[in-house]
Amino acid sequence: MFQLDKYMENLSENLKRRIEYQMVGTKCKGKFVFGGGVIKELGQEAKKFDAQNVLLVSDDNIEDIGIVSTVENILKDENMNVDIFTEVESEPHATTANKLAEIVNNKAFDLIIGLGGGSVMDMAKISSVIATNTGTVEEYLKGKEIEVEGLPKILVPTTSGTGSEVSPYVVCSVGEQKFYASKPQFFADVALVDPLLTVTMPASITSCTGLDALSHAVEGMTSKISTPISEAFGVKSVKFVLANLEKAYKDGEDLEARYYMSWASSLGMLAYVNVGGLYAHSFSYVMTSHNNWPHGLGCGYSLPYTLMYNLDHIKDILSEVSISAGIASAEDNKETAAKKAIEAMQELAEKVGVNKCLSEFEVEKDDLDIYAKELVENYYRANNPRDLDLESAKALLEDMWNGELRYR
């Protein structure tokens, strides 16, 4: 069970340091707050929006371990009325978003709080917009413009991977197809990141979400349209993941590892924002649709293969990461250093419970051609450094099936 006071007692003063961040050089009403124990400030932050009636969006697991009640009490201590919705599933569907739409359309809320992983925060984002606009959930997921700013929202992650607290993205399925929408109105008014909320994550979720963070960071800095900003955020995120994910996976109460994995998550998404994903994310969408894979598993599993496919185009930045993280030495040429980084990412995935070969999962080899077709037609990535046609996609999936990490 979640024990905030116990974790606070065991936290070093450095990890308790409160860090508040706004984009340098711009005016911005929103902010990012980070630190061990900052969840205790949630009520004070909510009061700044003159909030009286609050909708707290979460999931059953977060409720069962006691985090929802902890947060509810923090808000009630500030004399707020709190309605709670905990029906968000791990890979959310439009039917869930529509349940939230009915709630926000039938009661006047002043503030929405998303407390959970990426799915929960995404549902908080879409409900914020639905509360003040006339469009449907499906219309916004499929690209409809948002005319009116949504209700204020505070996003509080309980995992360290999705980075949804600092993104303009919502990912949700309509029917059998997964949609991802990007709107400035989906940004949080406050992103409140407390690493202590991640301590109770099971090892399997720690693995998947941590690999998701790694994918955001690496894809953001190796995209065809990467920038010095995405590279700066990405390099730091990768270093934190490589140094801390295995520790957090093996010991959930390693507070220092949890702290740096929370940084890795937010920094990874900041590398990804405005740049977008590569084929590791596309592969994840395919596997979620066909085999119910967790999103982070699909990204983390396919990331090394995606990077090896792109190797000739991304050697410079990957070699920089490799040397910075202590994987390669300055004497290594760029290709060698880059390959060492890719191999280290695959080794990390194996250490946190991910199979090396696609054949080791319950996946039918006869379906690979279907997956390849969807990669190219449904989830094409214009900003992948190297073009992927149908034959190349089939060859890439064949390598995944055999567990052969090679450049073609």
**DSSP symbols for 192-230:** EE-GGGGTT--HHHHHHHHHHHHHHHHHHHHSTT--HHH
Q: Report the relative pairing of strands 19-21 and 31-34 from DSSP bridges.
A: antiparallel
pLDDT tens per residue across span 211-266:
999 999 999 999 999 999 999 999 999 999 999 999 999 999 999 999 999 999 99
Q: Is 254 exposed, middle or buried (0-12, 13-18, 19+ CB in 10 A)?
A: middle
The distance of Cα 358 from the centroid of its chain, to the nearest Å, equals: 23
Assess contact for 260 and 36: CB atoms under 8 A. no
Could you give the domains of the chain?
Answer: 4-198 (3.40.50.1970), 203-402 (1.20.1090.10)
pLDDT tens per residue across span 141-199:
998 999 999 999 999 999 999 999 999 999 898 887 888 899 999 999 999 999 999 99
pLDDT tens per residue across span 111-152:
999 999 999 999 999 999 999 999 999 999 998 999 999 999
Tokens linked to 65? 């371990």
Rounded CA separation 89/61 (Å): 10
Q: What pTM was computed for the model?
A: 0.94
Assess contact for 217 and 166: CB atoms under 8 A. no
Tokens linked to 53? 């009636």
- The answer on pLDDT for 90 being more than 80 is yes
- The answer on pLDDT for 24 being more than 70 is no
